[in-house]
Structure formats: C-alpha cells, structure tokens
Amino acid sequence: VPDPWPFPDAQLTLLANPNSPSGTTVSPKGLERLVDSLSGPLVLDEAYVDFADRHNLDLARRPKVIVTRSLSKSYALAGIRFGYAVADAALTRELIKVKDSYNCDVLSLAAATAALEDQDYLQRTRALILATRARLTQDLQALGFEVCPSQANFIWCRRSDHPVKPIYEELKRRMILIRYMAYEGYGDGLRISIGTDAEIDRLCQELKQMM
C-alpha cells in the first residue's frame, strides 16, 4: 500500500486482503495507517483470509470500516453465493437503506449456517491447502519461477528468463487450466489455484517436461 495513500478523499476504498492475484497481505500497521488517512469508508475484502496467518476483523470496530467475507473460497461453497459483511451498527443501518428488499434464500442460509458451524472441516481443508501451497511454492522455485509468498489458496508466479504466456497456453493444451494475467506498467504472471495433491503432482510433472 503506497504511503501516503494517493486517494484519501475517495468516496469508497476497496482493499482485497489477502490480495488477488498476488496473494500478499498488508500488515495491521499498514491497514491502520490507511484507515486513518481516508475520509470515506474502507471495504476490507477478506475473501481469502482463512488461508492467511491473521485476519483483521477487529478493524470493523472502526466507524468507517466494512469487513467482507465469502463462503466461496475456504468453505468451497461458491455455488450458494453467500457472503457477509461486518461493520459498525450506524454504518450497517446506512447500508440497509440501499439493500435489495429480499434477503438470502433459505437454502443458502441453511448451507452457510451448517458450513460455519463445521469449523473442524474448515481447519482440516485449510491445513491441506497450506501444506500443498508450501510444496508447490518449492517445486515452482526449483523450476526457476519467482514465486510471491502467498497468504491465499493460489500462488502468483513469474519468470524473468522466459515469457509465461506460452507456458499457460501449453498447459491449457495439456488440459491443465491456470490463470494468465497481464497488468499495464507491471507485466504478467501466472496464478495457480491450489488443487488436490494429485492435481498439483500432475501440474509439476507437466511443467518439468516443458521447462
């Protein structure tokens, strides 16, 4: 996060933390500094936070911070389209004024409640993903990729010696789908979601053949 923040008067600021596609996080001090410098509300998007070392839900105690979460990632429930926001009561009252009159459907509410109650399952899948993330990071580094330390359920990697778009295209030809992303003024890279061990084994095998 740039310090000083370049748009302190924005009417709304959104920050994904962990970020996508880099998988990086802003430190609690950096977040405090950002909140202090803004005149408008900050939406702190914690969609990937269950894969990170820490969360920042406490920031929702500040009057102008809204922390949002999604059940699409760590709970693997993208199909129920369920998320929630945590914010100060006064700010929440303002949000309710502009909210659609209908609430979430009863089936998604039931599924979300059951998922949130099953924290053992969440912790087991989280542990699997973090272990595979560490292994994939090492394997990619051994293959010459520069890997951004990830706090999410994907890895962002780049190469300085080789264009990465052909790698994405060749993997696609071999029926392995990852994301290729390019940003003006920054360059491009590959975002690889952490799959099952078998999927990651297959990805590493194909990459070894290709590199």
The reply on whether position 14 binds ligand PLP by CB under 6 A is no
Q: Does 70 bind ligand PLP (CB under 6 A)?
A: yes
Q: How far is Cα 37 from Cα 8, in angstroms, rounded to an integer?
A: 6
Q: Rounded to the nearest 5°, which phi and psi values hold at 145?
A: -85, 150
Which listed residue (26, 42, 47, 111) binds ligand PLP by CB under 6 A?
A: 47
Tokens 């998988």, located at residue: 23
Nearer to ligand PLP, 16 or 112 (CB): 16
From the list 1, 32, 37, 83, which residue makes contact with ligand PLP (rule: CB under 6 A)? Answer: 83
What are residue 84's DSSP bridge partners?
69
Instruction: Check residue 49 for interaction with ligand PLP (CB under 6 A).
Output: no
Distance CA 23, CA 17 (A): 8
Q: Does 16 bind ligand PLP (CB under 6 A)?
A: yes
Per CB under 6 A, does 45 bind ligand PLP? yes
- Smallest distance from the beta carbon of 135 to ligand PLP, in angstroms? 23
**Given 14, 76, 78, 127, the residue binding ligand PLP (CB under 6 A):** 78
- Judge whether 80 and 65 are in contact, CB under 8 Å: no
Would you give the distance in Å from CA 25 to the centre of its chain?
Answer: 9
